[in-house]
A and B are shown apart, each in its own frame.
Chain A
């Protein structure tokens, strides 16, 4: 198992380098100009000088090499310095964002808390709701509960978050005034009052996202349970006179979890990717909003760094899902 993991990790390096190159070239070839958002009253000569100051006029290979060096050498040094108080990264040029003219990693670090709180919590809530619903729906197939569950998950699946989000705002912020429509990222939880405020501002975005996540995962859970319910080993278990509870929760559930774990694990990187639309609707301003504004502003270093980090997470969680297979199913051992 360990050698397998190490082998996979080593294999991931060329994969990631290739992904990095593809992202870089795609961004470079795509049309767009970071100066496009400047007012037209800025004359063309000044724009040209600004582009030069951003380093845009260097050849593409130089810029890619520089980015690689900054991402894999300078930025880790900065983290190392921050932890141990050393000075390796002093005077070294970090990856600078074109819109902020400041290190992209600092901004990303600033955005992680609200994304994890809102999108991460929504994911956890979604999974916690979805798994039991999926199990009950499968065990009592075609019951009223199953039908309601199917209806709700279809709604969650097919109604886009920009609709449910705005609908909630109109009802609960504009009409009833219960929850704020704008997320305050500067709120620090220090006591009961601020905790309540934090809870109130998280209710709507978490609900919208959790509905969407739960809809997806509960369908997977239900389908996977149903697949296993008809298997021979289930009949054998029942024939042995086992309690139905044990049959479902021990035998069926454990086997049904294998594909669901993959879906859940592969969904985790999306949490870090933020929820672009939901973050915009509720003004959460996390990683999703950071990515979309960077794309709009043609801030290539920011877009490149963010998408590459998502790629790393996806490769990593793929590996985690594969390893979890082995844990859940003793028949699958990779060595």
Chain B
């Protein structure tokens, strides 16, 4: 254990040193002033992009790659603040951009933005993007971003109004963030609906307004790009050409940036902390982390998943769980966990212990810390007081009805998750549970096959563990997953996001209230209350670790601002080569 702590400390020192260097760098070395002055940039995305149209694939790798060409009206910066990109400014109720009744938002496009083919960006392109994604039979991956949108109206060439079917307290869903960039309406005109996959040329090389243009795309292998001649800032991007290479695994990616220096930037380096520490000593690069809202958590099943029940009744609200329905049991489970130790072992600098379902942004984060301290004694006492004692001396407690506290704990197959499972099992057995572990291939676990008994929605286990997050900075859609009407069941073909089968009138009332509240502080208050209801008040959800993005950056690469709220490449036009 001490070894791991030491390792982490050394890694921390290395990171701090690196951070200090980065901070000093711009002062010491001048930024270039003209387009293409920095030469060539090598990005390594070990999960290589498959398609460059973000509406056909929601995979993060594809969204990141497409953000080099395609841009939204507004996106989030590294602090989660919205910044205008193709829009002239962020519309608000104050500046008249959002209507008083919150049913429409009017965007004004920035002046003089050109597509990479030289034609001007117009409001027609914005409207077309909406038509493209909502076309019947297209299977648009970002359809949820347009939920509630009834019309996108072209007011004039530079102005477009998005109308909603009711008041929308968060109107920044459509055309915001790297999930919602604007497509060129001429290029995609014949690609609506079922014709979408037939436009290979457009899907593999979309005309965009962004800093780069695709010159060669080989799916799951490599993307080659060059600076967009028509980019709106005449002095940017500083890199003339970019290669985005894929293949191999995270270790190979880390090696290419940190040890051999063949590439300048490596994405998603989720590796064991001690492996990374050894690589940083290679000396050609450093690690960058940024935290968004991702949380690794354990979810408790409030219904009985016992295999003794007939098929169709297992894990349904018809049969409440024999002991997980008791808040005292769930709280004891949470108290027994040492989140700090778990996080150090599993994620190192790329994780932080957390007690919240919504750990960020600040406006919505409760910032609870009461769960951080592990308390095995307290957990045992709590079980004892609630009437769970070991009556037959086998080391496992029984419920007052005599049923032993036996649990099946499932998650997806992944080295870090199996470490978590082993440690948590150990702690839970210390306080008197009997725990069986199970891991399922992620393509099955997260796949939606209604016929498979192993999906996370079907939840044929007592507790399960995975990571989830939300797009952008507003948690409304995320929190609304836990309403009564979203409980998966055989009647809904196990579709539904409320996998705990949690149901509370108070909670449902709060989500309705959140849906009608526009005032940001008030929204923050409601969201925090909902977070607390699910976590430290009831422990239905046991948050473990807030997970950050972890990327490798070459020492000679300047201008990188790692962003967990949007594409990591969001400000690539500002990246430059540090001469030295």
Contact = CB atoms under 8 A, between A and B. Distances in A.
Interface in B137-154: 137-141, 143-144
Contact of A185 (B57, B143, B222, B441): B222
Interface string B36-80: 000000001000101101001111100000000000000000000
A47 to B, nearest CB: 6
B194 interface: yes
Contacts of A110: 218, 221
B144 A180 contact: no
B218 A49 contact: no
Interface in B421-453: 441-449, 452
Contacts of A296: 443
Nearest to B201: A102
Contacts of A257: none
A44 B497 contact: yes
B443 A37 contact: yes
Interface of B: 44, 48, 50-51, 53, 56-60, 137-141, 143-144, 194, 196-198, 200, 203-204, 216, 218-222, 224, 243, 245-249, 252, 255-256, 259-260, 262-263, 282, 441-449, 452, 454, 457, 466, 468-471, 477-478, 495-497
Given A99-B57, A173-B262, 17 more contacts: A31-B443, A32-B444, A37-B59, A37-B446, A38-B57, A38-B59, A39-B59, A41-B470, A44-B457, A47-B448, A53-B137, A97-B219, A99-B51, A101-B53, A102-B200, A174-B260, A297-B50
12 contacts: A31-B443, A33-B446, A38-B59, A50-B140, A53-B138, A53-B194, A99-B219, A100-B51, A101-B51, A102-B203, A169-B255, A185-B218
Given A37-B59, A285-B220, A101 B197 contact: yes
B452 A99 contact: no
A185 B221 contact: yes
A186 interface: yes
A298 interface: yes
A35 interface: yes
Contact of B220 (A43, A186, A293): A293
A281 B252 CA distance: 8
A206 interface: no
A283 B443 contact: no
Given A33-B448, A36-B447, A38-B59, A283 B248 contact: yes
A280 B194 CA distance: 34
A107 B204 CA distance: 12
Given A42-B58, A45-B495, A186-B224, A50 B139 contact: yes
A186 B247 CA distance: 14
Contact of B263 (A35, A103, A182): A182
A203 B47 CA distance: 25
Interface in A238-287: 279-285
Contacts of B469: 39-41
Given A33-B449, A53-B139, A180 B59 contact: no
B409 to A, nearest CB: 19
Contacts of A46: 140-141, 143-144
Given A42-B144, A53-B137, A107 B219 contact: yes
A99 B197 contact: no
Interface string A175-194: 00100111011100000000
A290 interface: yes
Contacts of A44: 448, 457, 495-497
A54 interface: yes
B259 A50 contact: no
B61 to A, nearest CB: 9
Contact of B58 (A39, A100, A285, A298): A39
Contacts of A186: 216, 218, 222, 224, 243
Nearest to B481: A43
A31 B203 contact: no
A292 to B, nearest CB: 10
A280 B248 contact: yes
A329 interface: no
A59 to B, nearest CB: 15
B269 to A, nearest CB: 15
Given A41-B469, A185-B221, A283 B141 contact: no
Contacts of A35: 447-448
A215 interface: no
B262 A174 contact: no
User: 3 closest Cβ contacts across the A-B interface?
Assistant: A53-B139, A33-B447, A283-B247
B144 A285 contact: no
A37 B50 CA distance: 12
Contacts of B218: 110, 185-186, 285
A48 interface: yes
A173 B59 contact: no
A43 B137 CA distance: 17
Contacts of B224: 186
Contacts of B50: 99-100, 297
Contacts of A54: 139
Given A33-B447, A173-B260, A181 B200 contact: no
A289 interface: yes
B443 A36 contact: yes
A36 B260 contact: no
A36 B143 contact: no
B447 A43 contact: no
A227 interface: no
A81 interface: no
Contacts of A37: 59, 443, 446
Given A38-B141, A185-B218, A285-B221, A31 B454 contact: yes
A55 B185 CA distance: 26
A32 B222 CA distance: 26
A107 B50 CA distance: 11
Contacts of B468: 40-41
A181 B220 contact: no
Given A31-B444, A50-B139, A298-B443, A102 B221 contact: no
